[in-house]
Amino acid sequence: MFDKFKEEKGGEMTEERIEENTNEAESVESPPNTESTIGIGELMGKRAKLEEAIDYVGLMIKNLKDKRTMLEKDIEEESVDIKNLKEKLQKVSDYIDEENRGIQELTDKRLKVENEADEVASIINNLRDKLSGIDTIVGEEGNRVKQIKESRDSLES
């Protein structure tokens, strides 16, 4: 009985289709004019309509269950996709953190090298000053020796 209510596209029915089926059921299942005084024919017709309505409700329930099942499946697929995206994003975040740590380490190393270069420059300046001081002393001593030689030469002459 479900087959006559099913449509090819998902089994949903329109109101026009329901009315057609109801009219068909009345003409097929109604007994010929055997009306009795207690109305048994009318009661049988109502029973047939109720059975048809129950079948239709059953079909609607089946369609709703199918739709719910499809929704559950779609939601599960989306959940898996979202979890995969979240894992990928976490990996990207980890990579970025690792790169930032690497950059910080390089910055620290560069600062150490700059500090050492500054120390070397300071040592060079100190040594240059010392050498300049020594040069000044040597120059002064050279001038004294020269003066002494000149004064000896002038005394000897």
Q: CA separation (Å) from 34 to 14, 22, 55?
A: 33, 21, 26
Give a yes or no: residue 130 inside a domain.
no
Question: Across 40-49, 121-130, 145-154, which has the greatest mean pLDDT?
Answer: 121-130
Nearest to 28, CA basis, from 4, 8, 58: 4
Mutual angle of helices 15-29 and 40-156, in 10-degree steps: 150
- Give CA–CA dist 63/55, Å, rounded: 12
Give a yes or no: residue 76 inside a domain.
yes
Largest Cα separation within the chain, whole Å, is 177
The contacts of residue 74 (CB under 8 Å, 6+ apart) are none
At residue 10 the predicted structure's pLDDT band, cuts being 50, 70 and 90, is very low
Give a yes or no: residue 89 inside a domain.
yes
pTM of the complete model beyond 0.75: no
- Give CA–CA dist 79/82, Å, rounded: 5
57 or 6: which carries more pLDDT confidence?
Answer: 57
Question: pLDDT per residue over 34-89, tens digit each?
Answer: 455 677 888 898 999 999 999 999 999 999 999 999 999 999 999 999 999 999 99
Give a yes or no: residue 153 inside a domain.
no
Q: How many domains, the chain?
A: 1
Give a yes or no: residue 62 inside a domain.
yes
